[in-house]
Amino acid sequence: MASEKVVELTQDNFEEEVINSDIPVLVDFWAEWCGPCRMVSPVIDQLAEEYDGKVKVGKLNVDKYGNVAAEYQIMSIPSVFLFKDGKVVDKKIGARQKSEYKEMIDSQL
């Protein structure tokens, strides 16, 4: 079950929720059929709870919103990008440990 703190990103709200955000945004690019994405999902949910108020956490389904994924040249999933001030400041490709995502976030706070 997804955390209610995780924002479902779409092509319609991506700019508002990510690019124009006044706090860093962690974006999980994923798809339903992706096994490693399902492994990472609970970790992303935990991060949303732990960093609530400091970092916004969102998930973007690459099958539904391929144009957004293409814009960020997503070639493999899961891809977890960290945006700050509307720009990508860090990214991790493939399933990673929670500690790696935390390091990525902490370096921008």
Whether residue 4 is predicted with pLDDT greater than 90 in this model: the reply is no
β strands within 31-86, DSSP E: 56-61, 79-84
Among candidate residues 25, 26, 27, 34, the one labeled active-site is 34
Domain boundaries, the chain: 6-106
Top-level class of domain 6-106: alpha beta
Active-site annotation holds for 37: yes
Angstrom distance (rounded) from CA 31 to CA 61? 5
Strand bridging mode 79-84 / 25-30: antiparallel
Q: Percent of the chain beyond pLDDT 90?
A: 96
Whether residue 93 is predicted with pLDDT greater than 60 in this model: the reply is yes
Average pLDDT of the residues of the chain? 96
Please tell me the predicted confidence (pLDDT) of residue 1.
Answer: 45
- Say which amino acid occupies 102: K
Active-site annotation holds for 34: yes
Q: Are 60 and 71 in contact, with CB atoms under 8 Å apart?
A: no
Average pLDDT over residues 18-46: 97
Three-state DSSP at 8 gives strand
Please tell me the predicted confidence (pLDDT) of residue 109.
Answer: 94
